Amino acid sequence: MQPLKNDRYLRALLRQPVDYTPVWMMRQAGRYLPEYKATRAEAGDFMALCKNAELACEVTLQPLRRFPLDAAILFSDILTIPDAMGLGLYFETGEGPKFQRPITCMADVQKLGIPDPEGELQYVMNAVRTIRRELKGEVPLIGFSGSPWTLATYMVEGGGSKAFTKTKKMMFADPNAMHLLLDKLADSVTSYLNAQIAAGAQSLMIFDTWGGVLSTRDYKEFSLQYMAKIVDGLVRENDGRRVPVTLFTKNGGQWLEAIAATGCDGIGLDWTIDMADAKRRVGDKVALQGNMDPSMLYAPIPRIEQEVSTILESFGEGPGHVFNLGHGIHLDVDPEHAGAFIRAVQKLSRPYHAK
């Protein structure tokens, strides 16, 4: 593999000095880009795009051709593992992902196997290998997975949900079934992410999109302990480099200290928490990623630049900050505004790293 030309993102996650704050965007390869829409049309549908290594590579690289980003993220989906477990993933137009065979009881959970990352999920590893080769060492490649809790919500609900009643019913009425499901998912995610590292991913991110719907007690029992188990099981060195791992719980700002105690390298922050407050609470234990409201990209460019300045000032001087949105970029954002955001971070952050 080629030596890495721009390692600011990896250095920032390890709280090492950089010359400016590295920046990337969640969902940076996606529907806000016209070139993405063209490639998806060529693929036929979303999962066909994920399963074609050349096309998944193409959409991963598209935002890097437009913007001076400091990292690439694998183009895939968090529901690849449940799909590989045989739940029958499909997409309803305008309704998002659905499962033909949702999990309803302990017997369903007991039937689930742990997918082979180089078997049922080999298409993801092929995409990682292809992307890593085509990046030619320009920037690091981020691999990712959904968290066990977040994957479980889709598997039990049969798709997306607002109230998560089926998931919480299982959690409270049959906690043994839920814990077995989460344990199997934690084992699956660990092997999946380690296979991504072996295929060439240089950093990892775990998306706990729905952890924030839980109480503090239930978050620790049903979400965080399984992410901690994954962190413990991950390969943390490859190609002579540390492989940093970032945990992101949406609406998880109240649990930063507990998240930092898992042994992760970085914590992703949504926009509901103040960056200065987060830094004060975790100290130099972990790096912080975030945390501009994605809707700010609808604002005029001077307002975007002002917001970037405010967040940089809130974090203050020194390493340990990866700039990002507080969640994924919205599909109807003007790409010019995304570009202005990225350039603003790279220009305005330099004085904070001058010492």
pLDDT digit string (tens) for 27-55? 999 999 999 999 999 999 899 999 999 99
Question: Binding site annotation covers 29?
Answer: yes
Q: 190-203 pLDDT, tens per residue? A: 999 999 999 999 99
Question: Binding site annotation covers 27?
Answer: yes
In the structure, what pLDDT confidence band is assigned to residue 241 with cuts at 50, 70 and 90?
very high
Question: ω before 251 within 30° of 0 (cis)?
Answer: no
Question: Binding site annotation covers 123?
Answer: no
Instruction: Determine the Cα angle at 344 with ends 76 and 266, to 5°.
Output: 50
| Catalytic site residue from 77, 83, 265, 270 | 77
Q: What is the value of pTM for the model shown?
A: 0.97
| Catalytic site residue from 40, 101, 129, 242 | 40
> What is the C-alpha to C-alpha distance for residues 139 and 350, in angstroms, rounded to an integer?
19
Half-sphere exposure of 121 (CA within 13 A, CB side): 28
Q: Is 133 a catalytic residue?
A: no
Mean pLDDT of 86-92: 90
Q: Is 9 a catalytic residue?
A: no
Q: 112-168 pLDDT, tens per residue? A: 999 999 999 999 999 999 999 999 999 999 999 999 999 999 999 999 999 999 999
> What is the C-alpha to C-alpha distance for residues 41 and 19, in angstroms, rounded to an integer?
40
Question: Binding site annotation covers 72?
Answer: no
| Catalytic site residue from 154, 192, 226, 352 | 154
Give, in order, the Cα–Cα distances in Å from 309 to each of 19, 282, 289, 342, 346: 16, 22, 15, 12, 11
Question: Binding site annotation covers 28?
Answer: yes
- The chain-wide mean pLDDT, for the chain, equals 97
Q: Is 27 a catalytic residue?
A: yes
| Catalytic site residue from 11, 15, 27, 132 | 27
In the structure, what pLDDT confidence band is assigned to residue 2 with cuts at 50, 70 and 90?
confident
Architecture category of domain 8-248+257-268 in CATH: Alpha-Beta Barrel (3.20)
Question: Binding site annotation covers 198?
Answer: no
> Which amino acid, residue 125?
M
Q: Is 65 a catalytic residue?
A: no
With tokens 């901690």, the residue in question is: 228
Q: Would the pLDDT of 5 be above 80?
A: yes
Percent residues over pLDDT 70 in the chain: 100
3-state secondary structure the chain: CCCCCCCHHHHHHCCCCCCCCCECCCCCCCCCCHHHHHHHHHHCCHHHHHHCHHHHHHHHHHHHHHCCCCCEECCCCCCHHHHHCCCCEEEECCCEEEECCCCCCHHHHHHCCCCCCCCCCHHHHHHHHHHHHHHCCCCCEEEEEECHHHHHHHHHHCECCCCCHHHHHHHHHCHHHHHHHHHHHHHHHHHHHHHHHHHCCCEEEEEECCHHHCCHHHHHHHHHHHHHHHHHHCCCEECCEECCEEEEECCCHHHHHHHHCCCCCEEECCCCCCHHHHHHHHCCCCEEEEEECHHHHHCCHHHHHHHHHHHHHHHCCCCCEEEEECCCCCCCCCHHHHHHHHHHHHHHCHHHHCC
Question: Binding site annotation covers 200?
Answer: no
> What is the C-alpha to C-alpha distance for residues 278 and 275, in angstroms, rounded to an integer?
5
Mean pLDDT of 228-244: 96
Sorted by where each begins, the domain ranges of the chain are 8-248+257-268
| Catalytic site residue from 31, 129, 236, 350 | 31
> What is the C-alpha to C-alpha distance for residues 136 and 78, in angstroms, rounded to an integer?
26
Q: What pLDDT score does 1 carry?
A: 63
> Which amino acid, residue 91?
F
Q: 317-355 pLDDT, tens per residue? A: 999 999 999 999 999 999 999 999 999 999 999 999 987
From 169, 155, 160, 159, select the one nearest 109 (Cα to Cα). 155
Maximum alpha-carbon separation in the chain: 59
> What is the C-alpha to C-alpha distance for residues 324 and 28, in angstroms, rounded to an integer?
10
A 10 A CB-CB count for 203 gives: 25
Q: Is 40 a catalytic residue?
A: yes
Mean pLDDT of 294-298: 98
